[in-house]
Structure 1
């Protein structure tokens, strides 16, 4: 389903942990890291598509996450012709995305990259929220930057672990 401007509706998913680190997935058989994302199917709204893609790509169910926020407007990026199949080009220009910021309330072991028959990732890791944007494929960098900047306001304070310090009233982040 491509809109009249040539963009396929899509959702992007930023999953955070209690330290405000983000889930970073490695594309199968590639050395490319990215956030989960995927198309919105006919009849789905963005939230429904997000939950479907979350399960298909990461194996997480709705009870494993909490929605912290989402982008207000569509964010667009163009896919270079060399990256898309020639037969599928038609009027296709790229993707328009609604981005969701989620908090993992489940456990790391709830992540299952093999939940579906056609996995998209073969490895994953937690990364700082303000990741090195140079690690993102060039044509997606602007959208990643915009999504991270818009959604950062929804991040709760990271959990801190209290440890003894020489000064009884000081909290030390670990």
Structure 2
């Protein structure tokens, strides 16, 4: 389903824990890390698509989360031509996304990367809100900057009496994280990127069939 400009409607998910850290997933059999995201099917609202993708990719259901905010407009990124099927080139340009900020109301144990027969991630971790964008595939980085910047003002206030935060708590290093271990998790992370505020306007357009994708990184 493409709009008249060649963009496929899509949702992105920023999932927070109680310390305002974000869920960070490693794509299956790759070295690429990203937030959950996926296409909006015909007849779905962005919110319906978000809850479906949330379950398919990380195993959570609506009762496990609370919606804190969403982006006001579509945020767009173009996909490089070599990621697009030859028969779709000239029609498919990329993704336009509505991003949701969610708070996990359940437990870490509610997360399940194998909730469906077609998993997207093979490892995960909690990361500081300003994620290391150098680990995101390059053509998605601007959209990540825009989404994180727009939604940052909706971050919940952290309870100062939380026992994990008393006296201040430094961010854990990559090797110290108890969740999402994989063979790639030994190296140090690059510096965190704090983006400038940028955004794009909306544009639904008419839908057309076909998404033009040839491989998974731009999902």
Could you state the TM-score of these two structures normalised by the residue count of structure 2?
Answer: 0.73
Structure 1 pair 67–162 and aligned structure 2 pair: CA distance change class (3 A): closer
User: Aligned pairs, how many?
Assistant: 167
Is contact 1:161-1:173 (8 Å) kept? no
Deviation at 1:86, TM superposition (A): 2.4
| TM-score with structure 1 setting the length | 0.92
Q: Which 4+ residue blocks in structure 1 deviate beyond 4 angstroms? A: none
Q: Give 1:162 shift.
A: 5.7
Take 2:102 and 2:138, find their aligned partners in 1: how far apart are those partners? 24
Say if 2:71 is the partner of 1:76. Answer: no
* Alignment partners' CA distance in 2, 1:28 and 1:7: 24
Residues 32, 162 of structure 1: alpha-carbon distance in 2 compared, 3 angstrom cutoff: closer
1:137 aligns with 2:132: no
Q: CA RMSD, aligned part only?
A: 1.3
Task: For structure 1, list consecutive stretches of 5 or more residues without a partner in the other structure.
Answer: 164-170
Alignment of 1:138-153 (within 5 A): 138-153=138-153
| Residue 131 of structure 2 is aligned to residue 172 of structure 1 | no
Can you list the C-alpha shifts for 1:85-112, whole angstroms capped at 9, x where unaligned? Answer: 3234450000000000000011001000
Contact 2:24 2:125 survives alignment (8 Å):
yes
Comparing both structures, which one devotes a greater share of its residues to strand? 1
* Matching of residues 28-39 of structure 1 within 5 Å: 28-39=28-39
Which residue of the partner structure matches residue 93 of structure 1?
93
Contact conserved, 2:77 with 2:143, CA < 8 A, in 1? yes
